[in-house]
Homo-oligomer: A and B are copies of this chain.
């Protein structure tokens, strides 16, 4: 079971606590195109993606902007909506049939508050996300589109899963620009 492995590797929980934690998750499935979260909802869960990719997108002026891709083996959470209790600006959609485990945030956070190991895990989780986000920001601040494209592919090979249009969104450029960038390299 991937969730079990994930938590075993990432936390220092003993087997009892680990099993207890895992048992609090519910296994679910989603067909291609269905949503883990839809714009306007208030997020109240964490999801562990076991299998299949999702993409997060943002809608502005009736246009979809894909902002990120969620890969199997990741603990996914729309923390802004969850923490501020505001409707989320994002939709998280299954790009293919997915298997995931879900846990309500109150349940997870109750467990977290009772376990130093789990708290440490959460700190690391958000630290790591923050580091990745800051590296991305710097890519926008200091690189042109071509260089950013190379950076993204090198560090996130998963991006190959996206359509040209979606990948261009993530790079902050148009699909025609990305197509031309590809041609020249």
A residues contacting B by CB (< 8 A) are 58, 60, 65, 67, 79-80, 83, 112-113, 116, 119-120, 122-124, 126-131, 133-138, 140-142, 169-172
Closest approach, in angstroms, between the C-beta of A133 and any C-beta of chain B? 4
Closest approach, in angstroms, between the C-beta of A46 and any C-beta of chain B? 12
Chain B residues near A137: list those with CB within 8 A: 67, 133, 136-137, 140
CB pair A79 B131 closer than 8 Å: yes
11 additional contacts (CB under 8 A) given A119-B123, A130-B130, A133-B137: A65-B141, A79-B127, A79-B130, A80-B134, A112-B123, A113-B120, A119-B120, A126-B127, A126-B130, A133-B136, A141-B172
Chain B residues near A135: list those with CB within 8 A: 80
Bound: A134/B127 CA distance, A:
13
6 cross-chain CB contacts under 8 A = A65-B138, A65-B141, A65-B142, A126-B126, A129-B130, A136-B137
- Stoichiometry (number of copies): 2
Chain B residues near A171: list those with CB within 8 A: 141
Chain B residues near A67: list those with CB within 8 A: 137-138, 141
Chain B residues near A133: list those with CB within 8 A: 130, 133-134, 136-137
Nearest B-chain residue to A77, judged by Cβ? B127
Chain B residues near A116: list those with CB within 8 A: 113, 116, 119
Bound: A130/B133 CA distance, A:
7
Bound: A112/B122 CA distance, A:
13
CB pair B172 A140 closer than 8 Å: yes
Closest approach, in angstroms, between the C-beta of A97 and any C-beta of chain B? 27
Bound: A59/B83 CA distance, A:
35
**Which of A113, A124, A130, A169 gathers the greatest number of chain B CB atoms within 10 Å?**
A130
Closest approach, in angstroms, between the C-beta of A166 and any C-beta of chain B? 11
CB pair B83 A138 closer than 8 Å: no
